[in-house]
Amino acid sequence: MELEGVKRCLSSLESEVTMNGDTVDKHNQVVSFLQSENKDVRFDPWHRLKALKKDLRCLIKSLDNEEDKQNMTELSKRFIIHVYASLEKSNGDAKLCQELVFSFFLHVQGIHQWPRKRKYIELILANEKKVCPRFKKEKFETLNECRHITEATHPDSNHEPIAAESKLYQTILELVAKTAFMNDLGKMRIDKMTSYVENFHSVAILYRTAC
């Protein structure tokens, strides 16, 4: 149904306007169809991060200790906010966005400046095999300090540093050091949010007559 809707919308729109790209909610059939048509596919950050938030909630649920649950909830919230801020700051630069996102793991350790070319793999101390091959190869090429160091308007952290050996840190890092998340990060754009369409549809469903 959703795929058929996309096909009909596209054929109608493309006869009227020139389309530079398509932003979708990562519906598998739709993405695969658009890619087969050689379309420039982007993902709406809210939808994509909703899936990540679901994974984080499952992880939190699986923890036995109440204090760990609270700490993981806090760290997860900080990470999601950081991803949104990284998408905004990078302004469509996929590599910068990736470096900003992974700099979170240095920042939470209390490391706010680091040598250029530092490898992402140095962020993880054990269980190296649980990260994807791309994560093992990537480095901080352009970023070597946190935004709050260079931007007076960006607030410093008031959180206690977290050890890289901690289970909470390692668990979140392993969750995002995966091929799917790293690839999707490059396709998310803050200026490609579909919230306007979602809002329009929620009103239209209520007030438009069925036809």
Contacting residues toward Zn ion, per CB under 5 A:
107, 112, 146
Give 82 or 107: the residue with its C-beta nearer to Zn ion.
Answer: 107
Minimum Å distance from CB 112 to Zn ion? 4
**Which of these, 139, 116, 130, 106, lies nearest to 178 by C-alpha position?**
130
Q: For residues 76 and 55, is the Cβ–Cβ distance under 8 A?
A: no
Q: For residues 39 and 58, is the Cβ–Cβ distance under 8 A?
A: no
Q: For residues 150 and 112, is the Cβ–Cβ distance under 8 A?
A: no
Minimum Å distance from CB 110 to Zn ion? 8
Q: What b/e sequence results for 16-48 when a residue is b if at least 16 CB atoms lie within 10 Å of its CB, and e otherwise?
A: eeeeeebbbbbeeebbebbeeeebebbbbbebb
Minimum Å distance from CB 107 to Zn ion? 4
Distance CA 174, CA 105 (A): 11
Give 78 or 112: the residue with its C-beta nearer to Zn ion.
Answer: 112
Give 87 or 146: the residue with its C-beta nearer to Zn ion.
Answer: 146
Give 23 or 86: the residue with its C-beta nearer to Zn ion.
Answer: 86
Q: For residues 151 and 196, is the Cβ–Cβ distance under 8 A?
A: no
Minimum Å distance from CB 159 to Zn ion? 10
Instruction: Give the CA angle between residues 34, 35, 41 to the nearest 5°.
Output: 70
Give 15 or 158: the residue with its C-beta nearer to Zn ion.
Answer: 158
Burial (Cβ within 10 Å: 0-12, 13-18, ≥19) of residue 104: buried
Give 34 or 146: the residue with its C-beta nearer to Zn ion.
Answer: 146
Task: Using CB positions, name the residue nearest to Zn ion.
Answer: 146
Which tokens sit at 58?
A: 């499952």
Minimum Å distance from CB 96 to Zn ion? 16
Minimum Å distance from CB 187 to Zn ion? 26
